[in-house]
Amino acid sequence: MNRETQSHTQSPAQPAFAPPTPMMEQYLEIKAVNPDSLLFYRMGDFYELFFDDAEVAAQALGIVLTKRGKHQGHDIPMCGVPVHAADDYLQKLIALGFRVAVCEQTEDPAEAKKRGSKAVVRREVIRLVTPGTITEDKLLAPADSNFLMALGRMKGAADPSYALAWIDISTGTFKVTETAQDRLLADILRVDPRELIVAEPVFHAPELKPVFDMLGRVASPQPSSLFDSTSAPARIARFFEVATPDSFGTFGRAELSAISGIIAYVEKTQKAERPPLSRPEREENSATLFIDPATRANLELLRTLSGQREGSLFKAIDRTITGGGARLLAERLTAPLTDPAAIAARLDSISFFHSEPRLGEALRLALKGVADMPRALSRLALNRGGPRDLGALHSGLAAATTIAGLFTDTVAPTEIGKALEAIAALPQQLTQHLEQALGDEMPLLKRDGGFVRAGYDAELDEMRALRDESRRIIAAMERDLSEETNIRSLKIRHNNVLGYYIEVTANHAAVMTGTDEAKARFIHRQTMANAMRFTTTQLAELESKIANAAARALAIELAVFDTLVKEVVAQAQAIRAGADALAMLDVSAALALLAAREDWRRPQVDASLAFEIEGGRHPVVEQALRQAGEGPFVANDCDLSPEGSARHGAIWLLTGPNMGGKSTFLRQNALIAILAQTGSFVPATKAHIGIVDRLFSRVGASDDLARGRSTFMVEMVETAAILNQAGDRSLVILDEIGRGTATFDGLSIAWAAVEYLHEKNCCRAIFATHFHEMTALSEKLARLHNVTMRVKEWEGDVVFLHEIGKGAADRSYGVQVARLAGLPQAVVARAKEVLHQLESGEVSGKTERLIDDLPLFSAALRHETAPHLAPHPAPHIDALGAMLDGLHPDEMTPREALEALYLLKGLANQTGE
């Protein structure tokens, strides 16, 4: 039948395409509910993806894209990943910013068949995997927190109020803070969430577009219903199983909106499971040092500008042993304190371990036995844990007991004392139970069994013995029966028909059947030509036990596992508090070790406006120089403290050559302030830091082409933010303001900025510049002091001393630096000539004379630098050959090659060749 006939004879009611199969119907229904996620659809031992999901996943994961059947007349794209390797693929997808809906079979296939031969196994999405909700070990870096954040907004009569709530579902951390629109981005980047959820209307608010553009795929819109502040108290109370959330504290409407949003999102993604989150803890903005986004990036606190840990401040100072300790150190670095008393408490802990090195070393040795208890606890509570998570909790609790014993009869400072109290409150009964129940070797999956210690459960031991030693048990029974009946030929055998049976020769049958008692005990099964076969109740029971021993053994172990998990989750709060205490001890001991090995000193931190550093060093550069074998770091002083009766701190105007160390000096003082307020010793011989409430740093240049911003525009935007926000307690670090525009424009802007910092902001500041004219400001501005990077000239060369001294530089030595960078000698020589003419005033602004006298563009210089391009004096065939001999293609630039080609062509035309 041809197509026309087929079309003509088809019933009008018949669909153009065959309907989807029941399985594909189920897939489409589930996918419709999860349109923004890649659907991992469980089919046997694979998670399959179809349609657009398959095409996207195949490209992202680099796996084969195939097809399965047809839908609406088109092939259905399909790809799949093995269930046992799903974590590896999830890691790649999450890293790329995708969300994944995991759809599992929630029904036994045998049950599905009872509904009919074409019935589809019931499937449900059991979990939404998003960047902010992962808990798997493979997907998490031990030293990195994995924060999910929610933004709440309430429109008020005046300006709207904002709040941020953030959790780490893998550890249970839950914090909330109020914020304002002008510091929203800074507060988000301080926490550095993997995922930020926002109500749809807020996400599309024009005034917040720059914030979400900067965050990129981290921010995702969610239904407004998740953030309803009216229903928030009931949702919070239900989640934490309390009558009212008032006991957590009094929260504003924006805070309630953020808390409710994040809880609703957790319920949405985790389905029936509930992570053991701590109760929301408010974090006051004034309690931490404000660091704006540009400063945070420029100072490379946790990562370098290229996104690497290597080269960051965190990498340079991290000596922690545990994952929890590393995360706490990172948290402290990103949120230094502003309360001198709280800072002093942290410094006291470090001083304690600094003065007790043996105790610190013993503690660090014991901490090696501490696994990541909060993350293990979270996985167990979410029903994603395994025996190794129980083992991690056991080892951590046991190590905590050992650690507590190290401090017996020790007078410890307040912070360490509180930590020891939390460790002492850990449930000892749970520790003992885990010790009794768990074996020495933990399998990865609970279904593998073998994790319950021998002797813990008598029935389990019996089942294991039956499973593993059935031959020995049967042999023992055979021996006992042979001795009892005095039949030496008695055997216990097995076949697939009878199972286990007792076999005796025919002439011994009377022993088995001669009395009523024997007949009752030995049950006849089969008569053979020369033998008879019997069984007993005991043998039948043993056979049944042997047949079911493996399954029963695993069932017992799984029951033990569930019991232990319930006990662990019931003690979640105490375990988390104990883990936090161990992390604090880890950080304090690690920073004490760092101070001892790197010769760091305890800073004095108070409420004054002092900023006095003696022998300050850059914590990252110093270690890099040592590792490279390039000699010691040159230490420098810095004093921005108020002088005499001055009410405000000083401003240093720093001049000096490129390569002299200005940027290093700027950064090191900012990093020393951060370290001091973090509660750490600092790389200096002495440091007195008056609390800094806001830190601003503008060091380095970069453009923002995606938003249409040039390097100079970015510089001006960041400078404007500093001038508009800095106060008298701020520390401002500025480098080369105005360099991105014309000389007079740049000088004017830099000049006015320094005056504004002095008169309006009244802050402590270091301002580095190449505009030497600005040094005259020291005569006008009382708090401004000229300092310079010292250099020494020797036989025409410049030696950078990397030392700070009073006074001003008279030049920048840019030409010398250009020579060191490898510029062609002709360029360096000509630059010196031009510089001499400019400095001597010979040209007096008349650049025409420079252009007329500019040999860089003359034929003579071109021939000097590229002699093979000089034309031969005579248009002769010999000249053409000589020209060719003088060409060296590997050494020529494209422009030189083109000029040579034209020259050769001209010579060829002249010679007629």
Which class is 318-427+571-598 in CATH?
mainly alpha
Binding-site residue ranges:
656-663
The DSSP symbol for 907 reads: H
- Above pLDDT 70, what percent of the chain? 89
- 610-639 pLDDT per residue, tens: 999 999 999 999 999 999 888 889 999 999
Distance CA 387, CA 389 (A): 5
Distance CA 371, CA 898 (A): 67
- 159-216 pLDDT per residue, tens: 889 999 999 999 999 999 999 998 999 999 999 999 999 999 999 999 999 999 989 8
Please, which residues bridge with residue 638 across strands? 613
Task: Give 721 or 869, the one with higher predicted confidence.
Answer: 721
Binding-site residue ranges for ATP:
656-663
- pLDDT score recorded for residue 912: 53
Of 353-357, 404-408, 494-498, which gets the smallest average pLDDT? 494-498
**Close Cβ partners of 199 (under 8 Å, ≥ 6 residues apart):** 151, 153, 221, 222, 223, 224, 226, 227, 257, 261
- pLDDT score recorded for residue 704: 45
Average per-residue pLDDT for the chain = 87
Pairing of strands 611-616, 636-639: antiparallel
- pLDDT score recorded for residue 767: 95
Which class is 604-818 in CATH?
alpha beta
Handedness of CA 873, 877, 882, 884 (dihedral sign): positive
Is pLDDT at 735 greater than 80 in this prediction?
Answer: yes
Run of H or E residues at 831: helix 825-840
Q: What is the mean pLDDT of residues 260-287?
A: 92
C-alpha separations of 335 from 332, 585, 736 in Å: 5, 19, 27
C-alpha separations of 225 from 32, 204, 257, 279, 768 in Å: 20, 16, 10, 22, 51
- pLDDT score recorded for residue 882: 65
- Above pLDDT 90, what percent of the chain? 59
Is pLDDT at 866 greater than 50 in this prediction?
Answer: no
pLDDT band at 700 (very low <50, low <70, confident <90, very high): low
CATH number, domain 141-286, options 3.30.420.110, 3.10.20.30, 3.90.1330.10, 3.20.20.80:
3.30.420.110
Query: In 62-135, which ranges are continuous DSSP H helix?
Result: 86-95, 109-113
**Can you name the CATH fold of 458-550?**
MutS, DNA mismatch repair protein; Chain A, domain 3 (1.10.1420)
Q: What is the mean pLDDT of residues 246-271?
A: 92
Domain ranges of the chain: 20-129, 141-286, 318-427+571-598, 458-550, 604-818, 823-857, 866-911
Q: What is the mean pLDDT of residues 10-20?
A: 52
Encoding tokens for residue 10?
Answer: 């088809």
- pLDDT score recorded for residue 193: 95
The b/e string for 253-286 (b: 16+ C-beta within 10 A; e otherwise) is bbbbbbbbbbbbbbbebbeeebbbbbebebbeee
pLDDT band at 864 (very low <50, low <70, confident <90, very high): very low
Please, which residues bridge with residue 135 across strands? none
Distance CA 513, CA 580 (A): 73
Does the fold of domain 318-427+571-598 match that of domain 141-286?
Answer: no
- N-to-C CA span, the chain: 75
pTM (global) more than 0.75: yes
Our CA angle for 818, 821, 825, nearest 5°, is: 65
Asked if 886 and 867 touch (Cβ cutoff 8 Å), the reply is: yes
Distance CA 775, CA 812 (A): 14
> 20-129 is classed in which CATH architecture?
3-Layer(aba) Sandwich (3.40)
The b/e string for 212-236 (b: 16+ C-beta within 10 A; e otherwise) is bebbeebbbebeeebbbbeebbebb
